[in-house]
């Protein structure tokens, strides 16, 4: 019996949650000045864009964290489709 594909809404929410999880694993929420996670899933194509305005410190570079968050979002969606 074929498995049902996840809904577009589920894909977007999964990606968004994963990206936010990475951001807030690196920064306290109160330290993040602004962030935006934009996820678009149309015709089987996933687009993820992460903007992060947070202070640079010795351990976390905002640009790197944003890149890691986008990657985590894509990986979470890949996992969703493999399940």
53: in domain: yes
User: At 54, which CATH number?
Assistant: 3.30.300.100
At residue 1, the pLDDT reads 47
Contact 20, 59 (CB under 8 A): no
- The reported pTM is 0.91
64: in domain: yes
How many folded domains does the chain comprise? 1
1: in domain: no
37-65, pLDDT tens digit by residue? 999 999 999 999 999 999 887 688 999 99
43: left (phi over 0), alpha (psi -120 to 50) or beta: left
What is the pLDDT of the chain when averaged over all its residues? 93
Residue 15: count of CB within 10 angstroms of its CB? 27
2: in domain: no
Contact 24, 52 (CB under 8 A): no
Domain coverage including residue 76 = 8-82
38: in domain: yes
């Amino acid at each position: 019996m074929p498995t049902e594909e996840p809904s577009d809404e589920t894909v977007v929410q999964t990606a968004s949650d994963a990206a936010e999880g990475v951001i807030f694993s690196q920064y306290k929420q109160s330290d993040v000045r602004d962030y935006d996670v934009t996820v678009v899933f149309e015709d089987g194509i996933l687009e993820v864009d992460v903007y992060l305005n947070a202070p640079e410190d010795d351990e976390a570079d905002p640009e790197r964290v944003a890149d890691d968050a986008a990657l985590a979002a894509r990986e979470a969606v890949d996992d969703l489709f493999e399940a």
